[in-house]
Amino acid sequence: MKFYDSFGMNPRTIRFYLIEKGINLPREEINILAADNRKPDYLKVNPAGQTPALALDDGSIISETVAIMEYLEEKHPIPALIGATAEERAKTRMWWRRAEINICHPMVQGFYYAEGLDLFKTRIRCLPEAASGMKERARDGMRWLDGLLTGEWLAGDRFTVADICLYCYIDQLCGAGQPIPTECKNLHAWFNRVGARPAAEPSIWKDRPMGMRG
């Protein structure tokens, strides 16, 4: 297998996951800031032009962060970061999806439409007029989640891919004008717990483009 890696929230999510699992994969780094992911060689790997991607031993490609982690979890079930039972897996996926829909997606759209506009306006359809609304929607999601955080982790007492995903988005975009609201004490405490895990710092990209941790 080979992991196509780059700067960004989703590739970092995979790196964090791999470290937590103790999985070592050969890697090829893609310079997304130079738009290498939009060039013919990489488009043969992933026609969507996105990172990360995972090349399997048979030559087939898996893209999309969720699909990659689901695949690796089936190949390497221990330690379980999605869940060891059907009930645990369902609960993890529920929180994973909630985090993505309510916080991660509006956060990154707010970034694309504002701080990242010069970089992304020729790559995707950007709506600068929607930037502030997307950021506020993400803050609403953080406030909502703050009231539901009663355990150590999103899924309760189990650290899961849901925690990894949300942490990587917040950790990168809090440096681009989207910090956790001050009043979200539970979310701040959760963020610090994830940041203290041994995989958190080693999963950061070697450079800090635009001053962000990705």
Q: DSSP string covering 13-54, please?
A: HHHHHHHHHT----EEE--TTTTGGGSHHHHHH-TT--S-EE
Domain residue spans of the chain: 2-80, 86-203
How confident is the model at residue 94, as a pLDDT?
98
Residue 141 near residue 106 (C-beta atoms within 8 A): yes
d(CA 53, CA 13): 12
**What's the rounded mean pLDDT across residues 26-41?**
94
d(CA 204, CA 168): 9
Q: Quick: pLDDT tens for 81-129.
A: 999 999 999 999 999 999 999 999 999 999 989 888 887 888 888 898 9
How confident is the model at residue 208, as a pLDDT?
79
CATH of domain 86-203: 1.20.1050.10
Domain 2-80 has CATH 3.40.30.10: yes
